[in-house]
Amino acid sequence: MKNHTTLKIGGPARRFFEPETIEDMAQILQESLEEEAPLFVLGNGSNVLFPDEGYDGWILHLGPNWSGIELVDACRLRVKSGTTNQELARFTRLAGLAGYEFASGIPGTVGGAIVMNAGAYDGETVDVLESVRWLDRRGNLHVAAGEELDMGYRHSRFSDEFGVIVDAVYRLRPGDTKAIEQRIDELTQKRWSKQPMEAASAGSTFKRPAGSFASKLIHESGLQGLRVGDAIVSEKHAGFLINAGEATCGEFLELVRQVQEKVESDSGIRLELEIRRPDAAADAARDAALRRQAETEMEEGEEQED
C-alpha cells in the first residue's frame, strides 16, 4: 500500500478495487461481506498509515477513477468523492464561486475531507457541505443532509460508522474570480513556506489539543529533528512526522510514541493521533457483528410470519 499513500508506508492488500459505477461499489461491498473479507475505503491516500504487513482484506479505492464535478445550479456543485480538494478549489475559481479556498492545499479527496471534516485557515468542510450520498456496508444507498452528519472538529458520522461516500453537494457563494485566485495562491504559498509539502507525510500527525496546538507543544519539547530510522519530526513544521526514505510503520509508530510521551511529560497533554490506521481484524469484527444482526433480523421476520 506504500504506492497508494502519501506517507509511502505499508505492505500489500489482499485485493484492490477501483470501481467505475455506484453499482460496482455496491457489488464489491456485498461480495466482501458475503466472503467475510474486511474492507477499507481509500481515497488519495493521505491521513492514513498502513501496517508493514499490509491489509489482509479488500481495498475500495476511490481516486481518479471516481472524480468529477457538475454544476447543480448557480451556487451548488455535485462532486464525486474521489475528486481532490485541489481539483474542486480549481473548479470553484474558474466558476467564480467562493467558499472552498481554505481547502485548496489540503491533500486528499473530498470524500476524505468529509469523513474527517477537514479544515484549515478558519474554514471547515461543514461550512459548505449541503448533502451527501453514501453506501452502507451492505451496499444500500442513502442520502443525508450536512446537519445530519454529526460534524465537529476532525470528526463526522463516518468517523464512527462505516460508509462509502459516493458524492456530495456543496453550497458556495458568488465571488470575484481574481479574488478567489489570489486567496488560493496566498494559502498555497503559506503552506509551502511553513509545511514540509515536498516530503512524504500523511499530513498533520496529531489532532489539535484543547487550548493549544500540537506543533507548538512538540516544538517546545525540542523534538524537531527527532528520528527513528527514516521517520522524522519535521524541522520545518513540528506538527508533521515525515518519511525521509524507507521508514516502516513500526518506526513511525515508535516516533509517535516518543513524541506523545515527551510532550505529555513536559506539558501534561497527551497528543491524539489524527492519522487513520486500517485494522483488518477490527474491520472483520465489525462485519461479523453486522452479519449477526442481519441473521437475527431474518429470524425475527420468519417468526412473525409463522
What is the spatial distance between Cα 241 and Cα 85, in angstroms, rounded to a whole number? 22
32, 67, 156, 204: which one is catalytic? Answer: 204
In the chain, DSSP assigns E strands to 13-17, 39-42, 55-61, 69-71, 76-80, 97-98, 119-120, 123-124, 129-135, 141-145, 164-171, 173-174, 200-201, 227-228, 231-233, 241-243
212, 274, 286, 291: which one is catalytic? Answer: 274
What is the spatial distance between Cα 147 and Cα 21, in angstroms, rounded to a whole number? 27
| Other Cβ atoms closer than 10 A to 114 | 25
154, 183, 191, 276: which one is catalytic? Answer: 154
Q: Could you confirm whether 154 is annotated as catalytic?
A: yes
Q: Could you confirm whether 274 is annotated as catalytic?
A: yes
What is the spatial distance between Cα 223 and Cα 192, in angstroms, rounded to a whole number? 21
Catalytic site residues? 154, 204, 274
